[in-house]
Amino acid sequence: MQDVDLEVRHGEVMALLGENGAGKSTLVKILAGLVEPDEGTITIAGEALDPGSPGRSLAAGIAVVQQELSLVPTLSVAENVFLGGRSFAGPWTRGRVARRARPYLERVGLQELDPHRLVESLSVAERQLAEIARLLARDARILILDEPTAALSDVEIERVKQVVRSLAGEGNAVIYVTHRLGEVFELANRVTVFRNGKSQPSVAVSRLSMDQLIERILGRPLEEMFPERSSGFGEPILSIEGLETQGLAAPVDLTVHAGEIVGLGGQLGSGAGRLLRAVAGAEAMSAGSVRVYDDLLRGHALRRAIRAGIVYCSDDRKRDGIFPARSVTENLSSAALWRVTPRGVVSRRRENALARDLAGFFQIDTRRLGHRAATLSGGNQQKVALGKWLGAQPRVVLVEEPTRGVDVGARAEIYRHLRRLANEGLAVVFASSDLPEVLGLADTVASFYRGRLVRVAPAEEWTASRLLAQVMHAPATTEEPT
């Protein structure tokens, strides 16, 4: 990162954008005092800040909500609000801490939340808001929110947006890091784009269109975000009949054809992800059947599903999508060890050849194959998490939240890769809480609401408003709302 200039004003929301690896995270770490810059100055309200220490940044009024929340799950919300902050004058009693925490919780919309509740019992959105309350308790004047809505549903996202607007309205400066470009136009006053480690001049959001913003991020026009849809499908590959599993309120029937991409649209917890995990054998089915072509999967389990040609890419690449400490080559070959282990011993020649083939398909820089997967950008990590399953020679590809935490350029690449898989005759099913993604990528759209599959129809029969209505407050029947 070099030549970075950034100015944020009182009461302003400054969107900080850029592709993965562009330098945003480095700047956030510098402002948080986690990394010391080589040169340059940081001034807050006319006073120079000597960075390099989290304590000095906090004392200057800078606070950061990282993507990986720092709350302690086994402590109460109130205890977390004051944990690690300024000294708490007087006795540290359960009731007193709760009373002192309430005003901060109210400021972030958690006035109905019991301060005594353990953090581990909160939803992801409630944890995100509690983290912001914790920063307010430290008298922060400059709030840096790093991807605060990446793992939230639409309803939860709206709660965070309201809090951001409120914080800016109180005179705080908010630096908002996001890959969700729609949020920029809803929340931000100005935007600063990072590209190749350098900041571009800030510009008022009111002066930008979506296409212009994307061009600033990529340094080039993005002709088409979503690839062209299929003109026709082949025979049915995946047949789901009467499937029941924990988290689904009603049995699910669904058929997916060769060359077809089916998008499951719904809020987080709607049941779409549960369906994918059950089909993949990652969660138990309590009833129903899954067939690949005419073959019934008996004793459904993850290993049997993979052998039948069903693979599943989870929504959390850091948890179970990649092996961060292992090389990219090892990650790409991990789902197809049977192809690289003649006589039970890994053949490095075969492993390297397989990794190169998969890297070529997913446009992963082959010069990085020997590097640890953790060193890759978020977009490239996601391509590795998805690409490794291609080595298993699947017939059905299941993907949950395919572009979560991925920048706009990498999103377009992943969409092209999924379409290419479908064009080669595979059946692709993905679940996403990003409704524009569902409408733009899928050939067939299925809406989910509170554990129920509400409606399945070709993508051209849906509008954004109808899909939103279905996933937010679906009718009791499967008929389309009028």
Please tell me which residue, 175 or 47, carries the higher pLDDT value: 175
Q: Is the pLDDT of residue 406 over 50?
A: yes
Please tell me which residue, 3 or 477, carries the higher pLDDT value: 3
Helix 348-361 with 378-390: angle, nearest 10 deg: 120
Dump pLDDT digits (tens) for 35-53.
888 888 899 888 888 877 8
Report the pLDDT averaged over residues 260-284: 92
What's the 3-state SS for the chain? CCCCCCCCCCCCEEEEEECCCCCHHHHHHHHCCCCCCCCCCEEECCEEECCCCHHHHHHCCEEEECCCCCCCCCCEHHHHHHCCCCCCCCCCCHHHHHHHHHHHHHHCCCCCCCCCCEHHHCCHHHHHHHHHHHHHCCCCCEEEEECCCCCCCHHHHHHHHHHHHHHHHCCCEEEEECCCHHHHHHHCCEEEEEECCEECCCEEHHHCCHHHHHHHHHCCCCCCCCCCCCCCCCCEEEEEEEEEECCCCCCEEEEEECCCEEEEECCCCCCHHHHHHHHCCCCCEEEEEEEECCEECCCCCHHHHHHHCEEEECCCHHHHHCCCCCEHHHHHHHHHHHHCCHHHCCCHHHHHHHHHHHHHHCCCCHHHCCCEHHHCCHHHHHHHHHHHHHCCCCCEEEEECCCCCCCHHHHHHHHHHHHHHHHCCCEEEEEECCHHHHHHHCCEEEEEECCEEEEEEEHHHCCHHHHHHHHHHCCCCCCCCC
Report the pLDDT averaged over residues 208-216: 88
Please tell me which residue, 59 or 156, carries the higher pLDDT value: 59
Report the pLDDT averaged over residues 243-262: 96
What is the predicted pLDDT for the residue at 111? 86
| Lowest mean pLDDT, pick from 114-118, 141-145, 191-195, 473-477 | 473-477
pLDDT grade, residue 223 (50/70/90)?
Answer: low
Q: Is the pLDDT of residue 1 over 80?
A: no
What is the predicted pLDDT for the residue at 476? 43
Mean pLDDT, the chain, whole residue set: 88
For the chain, what's the residue count? 482
| Amino acid at position 245, single letter | T
Report the pLDDT averaged over residues 160-189: 91
Dump pLDDT digits (tens) for 328-376.
999 999 999 999 998 889 999 999 999 999 999 998 999 999 999 998 8
Indicate the CATH number of 13-218 among 3.40.30.10, 3.40.50.150, 3.40.50.300, 3.20.20.370.
3.40.50.300
Please tell me which residue, 196 or 397, carries the higher pLDDT value: 397
What is the predicted pLDDT for the residue at 87? 53
Dump pLDDT digits (tens) for 413-443.
999 999 999 999 999 999 998 888 999 999 9
pLDDT grade, residue 480 (50/70/90)?
Answer: very low
Distance, in Å, from the CA atom of 84 to the CA atom of 383, rounded to the nearest integer, reads: 37
What is the predicted pLDDT for the residue at 150? 74
Q: Is the pLDDT of residue 454 over 90?
A: yes
pLDDT grade, residue 473 (50/70/90)?
Answer: low
DSSP bridge pairs for 264: 431, 446
What is the predicted pLDDT for the residue at 477? 42
* Alpha-carbon dihedral angle through residues 212, 214, 218, 221, given to the nearest 10 degrees: -60
Is the distance from CB of 259 to CB of 420 less than 8 angstroms? no
| Lowest mean pLDDT, pick from 29-43, 55-69, 380-394, 450-464 | 55-69
Distance, in Å, from the CA atom of 60 to the CA atom of 139, rounded to the nearest integer, reads: 9
Residue 13: exposed, middle, or buried by beta-carbon count in 10 A (0-12, 13-18, 19+)?
buried
What is the predicted pLDDT for the residue at 259? 97
Is there a shared CATH topology between the 13-218 domain and the 236-473 domain? yes
CATH topology for the 236-473 domain? Rossmann fold (3.40.50)
Report the pLDDT averaged over residues 104-127: 86
Sorted by where each begins, the domain ranges of the chain are 13-218, 236-473
